[in-house]
Chains A and B, each alone.
With several copies, the nearest count.
Chain A
Amino acid sequence: MESDNLEFILDHFKNPRNYGTIEDADFSYEEGIPSCGDVIRLDLRIKNNKLDDIKFSGTGCAISQASVSILTESVEGMEVSKVLSFTDNDMLEALGGQVSPIRFKCALLGLTVLKKALIEKKSAP
């Protein structure tokens, strides 16, 4: 990883954006990778089919935690359908395109959880 990219990621790890919970969240979703111990919890509020507010909490490695932080910035205010078409590649690019394939699993955890949350919400009554 180039060192400015590393700094960008570490900055998000040390100072996570959108960290916390939403009191009046429309829904919350939590998932992790048991073999890594990484866990991410998302609180979401949707208005007019847009992701009006998103907050996260969790534990895990720097890559996974920084990735969610960066992700929340990228998707906040986005239309739900657009979030669903946000690809793995989009996520990796948002991270600066420097993450090693070895860490893709960590880097993509947040996006996976977000999509699962939105799909579950959709199919809920």
Chain B
Amino acid sequence: MEKLIKSATVLDPHLIKNDFPVFKRRVNGKPLIYLDNAATSQKPESVINSIDNYYRNHNSNIHRGVHTLSYESTVMYEEAHKKVAEFIGAEDWRNIIFTRNATESINLLAYGWGLHNLKEGDEILITIMEHHSNIVPWQMLRDLKGIKINVLGVDEKGNLKLDDLPGLLSERTKLVSVIHASNVLGTVNPVKYITQEAKKVGALVLIDAAQSIPHLSIDVNDIGCDFLVASGHKMLGPTGIGFIYGRTELLQDMEPFMYGGDMIEKVTIEKTTWNELPWKFEAGTPNIVGGIGLGVAVDYLQNIGLTNIYNHEEELLVYALEKMAEYDWIKIYGHKSDSQSVGVISFNIEGIHPHDVAGMLDEQGIAVRSGHHCAQPLMRELSMDFAARVSFYLYNTKEEIDLCIETLKKIKKLFE
């Protein structure tokens, strides 16, 4: 009975695969085994169909007229904001700004908030674990405005050195911008705790949820953050769509980022006034179909349930880590403490360049990533520079992990 209840809430990745047309694809004659989910996720039939349906039946520009297609498009696009808002527990859909991706989201904040609000001597705190997209925009501001970037380090286990946090915060700290889940190590950082500490010195808090939101249930009010950003393409949505959640007062006070149509209220050559939220930050014709598709992706995720997804991935992760630990020639980065983690494992095989590992896995239809994972400072810190990475999602299975590890063994043998 207990088992029955348990299995009723656990998802069946074999059934879920049926929702994802890409798995009909064969790669090098083999069924596709897709373990590159931290780079981007595959898309369910419902998301693909929503795009198709939009272009076949509703395609039009939004906000720009009083004809039926335009009205339908506007409603569908606004509705997508609502779905994302509910998904992360935001009070109102106007707190959601659609962007191209997490990268644009952070840049929007760097320009719209940072460029106009920061001054020489102000400080920003990031961590060494950040993705490049949460490092380089702040360097731009550092060079333009003379601010200082402080960096919270990691220990040898791959956890943030939280003991150093208070010492890095002061009333000069205007923003703490932290990666929620590492795209290299999988580590989930205690963002709620970090937010509380940041609030003590009055800093704003930005959470980069690109790698967490596809896998964990998120509530912005529970975290207490001021901004949260993510990418649609990593959470079953289309390419070209991402978003920012921001608190109302902050978004209202912020300067716009891009300027043009739709974000204005009134334009004269002398002076322009801004439109209301969120349009103030969505200049020009947006990626309408991207937004609508993201809304459908959120529907899909909620239908399956984030807890189920997390539990399934946890099971895969534990399974894979145990299996990989059997071979001492596989070096795994991170995963050394009991901190919470998403299904990402970066590893190297002694004496074999990760490109060769990935390339030879690909010949068996297994897609993994190899490279610096857009996190060079972290990689350098952990002396890894380059690594192979497997990352799981709801459609992955233990059989796929088995096949991957079997192939790793063959590769190792070939190089001996």
- List which B220-250 residues lie within 8 A (CB) of chain A: none
Chain B contacts with A in 364-407, Cβ cutoff 8 A: 371-372, 385-386
Within 8 A of B (CB), among A92-123: 100-103, 106
**Contacting B352 at CB < 8 Å: which of A34, A36, A62?**
A62
| A77 contacts B by Cβ under 8 Å | no
A22 within 8 A of B: no
Q: Which of B66-74, B78-86, B124-132 contacts A (4 or more CB under 8 A)?
A: B66-74
**In this assembly, does A125 line the interface, its C-beta being within 8 Å of a C-beta of chain B?**
no
Instruction: Check B45 for interface membership: any CB of A closer than 8 A.
Output: no
| B157 interfacial by beta-carbon distance below 8 Å | no
Alpha-carbon distance A112/B385, docked complex (angstroms): 24
CB of A35 within 8 Å of the partner chain: yes
- Interface majority SS (helix, strand, loop, mixed), chain A: helix
Q: Is B19 an interface residue (CB 8 A)?
A: no
In contact, A102 and B68 (Cβ under 8 angstroms) = yes
Q: Are B414 and A10 in contact (CB under 8 A)?
A: yes
Q: Are B71 and A102 in contact (CB under 8 A)?
A: yes
- Band of interface residues on B: 20 to 34
Task: Give the distance in Å from the alpha carbon of A14 to the alpha carbon of B353 in the complex.
Answer: 13
A62 vs B354: C-alpha distance in the bound complex, in angstroms?
A: 10
Whether A102 and B67, one on each chain, are in contact in the complex, defined by CB atoms closer than 8 angstroms, is yes
Q: Choose one: B352, B359, B414; the contact of A100 (CB below 8 Å).
A: B359
Is B265 within 8 A of A34, CB to CB? yes
Contact of B266 with A63 in the complex, beta carbons under 8 Å: no
Contact A63 B359 (CB under 8 A): yes
Contact residues on A (Cβ < 8 Å of other chain), bracket = 10 to 19
A94 vs B392: C-alpha distance when bound (angstroms): 38
- In the bound complex, what is the Cα–Cα distance between A100 and B68 (angstroms)? 9
Within 8 A of B (CB), among A3-62: 6, 10, 13-14, 34-37, 60-62
Which of B63, B67, B68, B359 gathers most chain A CB within 10 Å? B359
Chain B contacts with A in 324-355, Cβ cutoff 8 A: 352-353, 355
A1: CB under 8 A from chain B? yes
Q: Which of A13, A34, A61, A102 contacts B266 (CB 8 A)?
A: A34
With CB as the reference atom, state the residue of chain A lying closest to B71.
A102
- Pair A36/B415 contact, Cβ less than 8 Å: no
Whether A62 and B71, one on each chain, are in contact in the complex, defined by CB atoms closer than 8 angstroms, is no
Known A-B contacts A10-B414, A36-B386, A102-B362; the reply to A61 vs B68 at CB < 8 A is no
Q: How far is the CA of A114 from the CA of B415 in the complex (A)?
A: 27
* B353 touching A61, Cβ below 8 Å: yes
Pick from A1, A6, A10, A103: contact of B66, CB below 8 A.
A103
Residues in A whose Cβ lies below 8 Å from that of B66? 102-103
> Of the candidates B63, B356, B362, B386, which one forms a contact with A62 in the assembled complex, judged by CB atoms under 8 Å apart?
B356
When C-beta atoms are compared, the residue in chain B nearest to A3 turns out to be B414
A10 to B352, CA, bound (A): 11
- A35→B379 CA distance, assembly (Å): 13
A37: nearest chain-B partner, CB-CB = B386
Interface residues of B in 246-285 (CB under 8 A from A): 265-266
Tell me whether B92 is interfacial, beta carbon within 8 Å: no
Given known A-B contacts A10-B415, A37-B385, A61 and B371 have beta carbons under 8 A apart: no
User: Nearest 8 CB-CB pairs, A to B?
Assistant: A61-B353, A61-B355, A102-B71, A62-B356, A61-B356, A37-B386, A102-B66, A34-B265
**Contacts A/B (CB < 8 Å), 20 sampled:** A1-B363, A6-B414, A10-B414, A10-B415, A34-B265, A35-B63, A36-B371, A60-B355, A61-B355, A61-B356, A62-B353, A62-B356, A63-B356, A100-B363, A102-B66, A102-B68, A102-B359, A102-B362, A103-B355, A103-B359
Identify 19 new A-B residue pairs, CB closer than 8 A, beyond the known A34-B266, A62-B356: A6-B414, A10-B414, A14-B415, A35-B265, A35-B371, A35-B372, A36-B371, A36-B386, A37-B353, A37-B385, A60-B353, A62-B352, A62-B353, A102-B66, A102-B67, A102-B68, A102-B71, A103-B66, A103-B359
